[in-house]
Amino acid sequence: MLLAALYCLLWTFQTSAGHFPRACASSKNLMEKECCPPWEGDGSPCGLLSGRGSCQDIILSKAPLGPQFPFAGVDDRESWPSVFYNRTCQCFGNFMGFNCGNCKFGFWGPTCTERRLLVRRNIFDLSVPEKNKFLAYLTLAKHTTSADYVIPTGTYGQMNNGSTPLFNDINVYDLFVWMHYYVSRDALLGGSEIWRDIDFAHEAPGFLPWHRLFLLLWEKEIQKLTGDENFTIPYWDWRDAENCDICTDEYMGGRNPANPNLLSPASLFSSWQVRCAGHTISEHKRTVAITSSGSSS
């Protein structure tokens, strides 16, 4: 059973700990095609001086492509992330992240050697204070600009092959909305041509592992944002549910009686705006979904 997450659409290709690190969004980084920022702990690229990682060439898979995407060299997501970067931080041991500054999942402490077991719980088993804390964390994420990541507003070609970076700030919540959108969107073939018969996150064997990693990354960002290392995203077990019993104003939002496609005005989320495909969508859209095995609404 996977868990609870919130999205309008969401993704990234071969997932890295961060899609576009702010530290690698300059024309210098893009034109040199290198993303090896320093770890703040010792100031060296990838924390090399502390044995955390090193800057290395990206090794791409040589496996033959399937017939689902009969193109090559037309989409920025192909052979990710080589269109943007050829060298990135490769982390050692229990370290991970765009600068090897984080611990791998399940490890903690200054040297990432402490093991800790976190328990994921059914959202209906949370006490009222626990449920309210979860919702408060989501609200904080929605209203906090990500310190580490930005999102692109154009393709690499539109950035003049990196000389004119096109990136925007994004809040922590919408960062993951955008990631899921980016991995799932249609392929841009140039001009007005698009290829709709592709969805890298959902129509392949990577569906389950990709979403599991996606949610773990989202959970880690909430932990960093709040300082609550014990935070876990609750799950909703909908296997025997006849209706969406999580879709109430107490939890993820009931339906607007005047328009079932919108959230109830009494919902915490009814005034949220969502960024999809680089645009801001009007208020009161149903933007929140909880999933235990991949479903979303």
Q: How far is CA 106 from the centre of its chain?
A: 19
Report d(CA 199, CA 108) in Å as an integer: 34
Residue 292 is predicted with a pLDDT of 34
Q: Write out the two tokens for 95.
A: 């370290």
Residue 7 is predicted with a pLDDT of 36
How is the chain split into domains, by residue range? 18-59+75-117, 118-174+219-287
Residue 197 is predicted with a pLDDT of 83
Report d(CA 106, CA 114) in Å as an integer: 8
DSSP 235: B
DSSP 37: P
Q: What angle do CA 115, 116, 122 make, to 5 degrees?
A: 150
Q: How far is CA 227 from the centre of its chain?
A: 19
Q: Look at the block and give the residue holding tokens 């909430």.
A: 222
pTM over 0.85, yes/no: no
Report d(CA 161, CA 41) in Å as an integer: 32
Per-residue confidence of the chain (297 residues) as pLDDT tens digits?
333 333 332 333 333 334 799 999 999 999 999 999 999 999 999 999 999 999 999 999 888 877 878 888 888 988 889 999 999 999 999 999 999 999 999 999 999 999 989 999 999 999 999 999 999 999 999 999 999 999 999 899 999 999 999 999 999 999 999 999 888 888 888 778 888 888 878 877 888 999 999 999 999 999 999 999 999 999 999 988 888 999 999 999 999 999 988 999 999 898 888 665 433 333 223 333 333 333 333
Q: What angle do CA 134, 137, 143 make, to 5 degrees?
A: 145
